[in-house]
Amino acid sequence: MTTSTPTRVRVPAQVYLLAAVIFCLGTSEFMIAGILEPISADLQVGIPQAGLLITGFAVGMIGGAPTMALLTLKLPRRATMIISIIAFSALHIVAALSPTYSILMITRVLAAIACGGFWAVAAVHTTRIAPAEVHGRALSSLVGGLTVANLVGVPLGTWVGTQHGWRATFWAVAIVTALAAVLISFTVRTPTDEDTGSSHHLTTLLKAELTAFKGPRIWLALATTALFQASVFAAFSYFSPLLTQVAGISHDLVPAVLAAFGIGALIGVVVGGRFADRNIFGNIIGSLAALALSLFALWLVADTGWAAIVMIVLIGASGFSIAGALNARVFQIATQAPTLAASVNTSAFNVGNAIGPALGAGVIALGWGFKAPLVVAILLALASLVLVAVAIRVERVWSARIGVATFEQSSDAIA
């Protein structure tokens, strides 16, 4: 008598290729911080003005993701991804040739729009090709591409920029993303039922997409995303002065500590994705609670160098362990028409990227010191937990009204 071994459900290989593309996009998004000085010197602008290139990219992402989602609704998703990558690559070539700061800023905003468009469509494509049992893990793999960009891509881009000039960094990104477009065109295949949207009237598609925004469920999910991301970046943005001026760590060791944060984030992405597949709400609550506790612990031990480093790694792990669940939650709500919802969720992440550092800067400007952003981050994480509690209550009411048991199946571990 033989017994059959259960088949292990795996994340499709296509997802890891999409994550590699996001590695390229993420490298571009964050590399500016490492080459501000050469850009400032070459284009004859101040460091603060050069730093606005980071803000410009964030603004482009906030508005670009939903805009691209709407403009490409009638296009096949594979074609949309390829067009977005080609546009992203071409804009980096223009950036590398930019004679003025203004032109460089324009390329950053437009590249962010293309980046946002790819993000949203890639996330939707991932949920279409990955089995439902591994949605959380598959979406976490996409975020993993961004995490690896911070670990490898940004330091490498900074090295290229300092050794060969900032324009060389843009050339490198342009070449790598162009190669990614070629790989996507040959290896990514769209399910047979995916291109049927092109036969529908655009108005019908828009109505279907906008349906997901009726009621509080999607807005609670998006607000949770924004507050969580603001919490992480309110703290992360000021780790460097916290380490050097509070913990007493040498400036030379800061990059290594930030790399350790990235390692913690990568671990969090992998582990969190597996938990998200079992219990979305359980993953979200557990991650937010762990994030708040890690931030509070860092606030307590910030004066001790080695303890501060340990807490920073834990913040990376706890913070990024929620990423897959937040994305999966949006697709759970917008199952039938997910493209616009996914793009707006991408915008929500970038709203957090903008709000968190601004709030952290505000409390520092008030003279409250470099530990103050940690307090802001803790409050934002707790506010996210409150929103999740409200979302759970709303979800119970919604499930009872339509007579389904999906909520109980996805949240039994926290009931």
Q: What length is written for the chain?
A: 415
Higher pLDDT: 124 or 265? It is 265
What mean pLDDT comes out for the span 66-87?
82
Q: Does 375 or 185 have the greater pLDDT score?
A: 375
How would residue 101 be classed by pLDDT, with cut points 50, 70 and 90? very high
Residues 205 and 121 both lie in one domain? no
User: Is the pLDDT score of 346 beyond 90?
Assistant: no
Query: Are 123 and 182 in a shared domain?
Result: yes
Domain membership of residue 3 (yes or no) is no
- 128 inside domain: yes
**Would you state the pLDDT for residue 309?**
94
**pLDDT tens profile 383-404:** 999 999 999 999 888 877 765 5
Residue 151 confidence class, pLDDT cut points 50, 70, 90: confident
Q: Are residues 359 and 378 in the same domain?
A: yes
Where among 189, 219, 236 does a domain terminate? Answer: 189
What is the model's pLDDT at position 160? 86
Residue ranges in 97-134 assigned as alpha helix (H)? 101-129
DSSP state letter for 243? I
pLDDT of residue 4: 47
257 with 313, same domain? yes
In sequence order, which residues have a C-beta less than 8 Å from that of residue 267 and are 6 or more positions away? 316, 317
Does residue 62 belong to any structural domain of this protein? yes
Summarised one tens digit per residue, pLDDT across range 318-336 is 988 898 888 888 878 876 6
| pLDDT reading at 205 higher than 70 | no
| 275-322 residue pLDDT tens | 877 888 999 999 999 999 999 999 999 999 999 999 999 999 998 889
**What pLDDT score does 285 carry?**
95
Three-state DSSP class for residue 130 = coil
* Boundary residue ending a domain (189, 217, 243): 189
Do 288 and 406 lie in one domain? The reply is: yes
Do 357 and 304 share a domain, yes or no? yes
Same domain, 166 and 244: no
Q: Please report how many Cα atoms fall inside a 13 Å half-sphere around the Cα of residue 129, on the Cβ side.
A: 24
Flag whether 37 is in a domain.
yes
- Residues 298, 382 share a domain: yes
pLDDT given for residue 350 in this prediction: 82
Calculate mean pLDDT across residues 239-247: 87
- Residue 241 pLDDT > 60: yes
| Cα–Cα distance, 43 to 320 (Å, whole number) | 36
The pLDDT of 24-48, averaged and rounded, is 82
168-201 in b/e form (b: 16+ CB < 10 A) is bbbbbbbebbbebbeebeeebebeeebeebeeee
Query: pLDDT digit string (tens) for 252-268?
Result: 787 788 788 888 888 99
Indicate whether 215 and 116 sit together in one domain. no
Is residue 1 one of the residues assigned to a domain? Answer: no
Mean pLDDT score across all residues of the chain: 83
Percent of the chain with pLDDT over 70: 87
Residue 269 sits in a domain whose CATH number is 1.20.1250.20
The count of structural domains within the chain is: 2
6 within domain boundaries: no
Domain boundary among 154, 189, 224: 189
Domain that holds residue 372: 200-415
Q: Locate 350 and state its tokens.
A: 């970038």
Please report which helix (H) or strand (E) contains residue 415, including its range. none
Which pLDDT score, from 0 to 100, does residue 141 have? 77
Provide the Cα torsion 259, 260, 262, 263; round to 10°. Answer: 120
Instruction: Report angle CA 188, 262, 332 to the nearest 5 degrees.
Output: 50
Residues 239 and 103 in one domain: no
Residues 110 and 39 placed together within one structural domain of the fold: yes
Q: What is the pTM of this model?
A: 0.76
The answer to whether residues 134 and 239 belong to one domain is: no
Which of 36-40, 154-158, 409-413 is predicted with the least confidence, judged by mean pLDDT? 409-413
Domain contains 2: no
Whole-angstrom CA distances from 289 to 328, 363, 381 are 19, 23, 8
> Counting beta carbons within 10 angstroms of the beta carbon of residue 204, is it exposed (0 to 12), middle (13 to 18) or buried (19 or more)?
exposed
Mean pLDDT of 106-116: 92
- C-alpha to C-alpha distance for 390 and 384, rounded to whole angstroms: 10
